[in-house]
Amino acid sequence: MDLIEEYKLWDPEAESVIQDLCKNKLNLKLYQILKESGENLLSNVFQFSLEYGLLPIIKFLYQAKKVKYNFKWIEQYMDTPKPQSLDTAIKIPIATGKSDKTRIKVQLMDKYSIRRIDCINYLLNMRKYSKYTYGDGNFYYQYNR
C-alpha cells in the first residue's frame, strides 16, 4: 500500500486535503517527491508538508508513521530572512505596543506562512509527547505514544 492510500485510510478528511493540494498546484511536487525519494520518503514528505503548511499530513506522518524530524527543519522558518527574499515576500506591519512612540515591526509572509505556523505550533506542542535524541549536532524529535 502506498503512502497516499495509507493517509486516506487514516484521515477521513483526506480528500479535501488532496483537493487543496491540486488547487494550489502542489500535487505534482508531492508526486515527484513520492516517486524519487526512496528510503528518505517519509522525511522528504514531512519537509514538503512543513514547507507548505499541510497540517493533516504532518499529523499523519508524525503520529501514525512515527517520523523523526530534525528541529532545524522548523528553525529554518524562524530565522531572519535573507536579503534576496525581501523582494518577493509580503510585508505585514505589526504594532509592537500601545503607545504612539513605539516602533513598527515587519513580519515577512508568503502564501503558506499562516498554515506553516500552525504546523510549527503543533510540532512544538507535541514535544511533550515525544522523545528526543541528539546526534550530529542536531536535535531529533519522534512521537512516543
Distance CA 1, CA 65 (A): 13
Whole-angstrom Cα Rg for the chain: 17
Model confidence pLDDT, tens digit, residues 70-80: 999 888 877 55
- pLDDT band for position 55 (cuts 50, 70, 90): very high
Distance CA 64, CA 125 (A): 17
pTM score: 0.79
> What's the grid cell of residue 68?
523523526
Contacts of 7 (CB under 8 A, 6+ apart): 14, 57, 60
Q: What are the residues whose beta carbons fall under 8 Å from the beta carbon of 91, sequence distance 6 or more?
A: 106, 107, 108, 109
Q: Above pLDDT 90, what percent of the chain?
A: 56
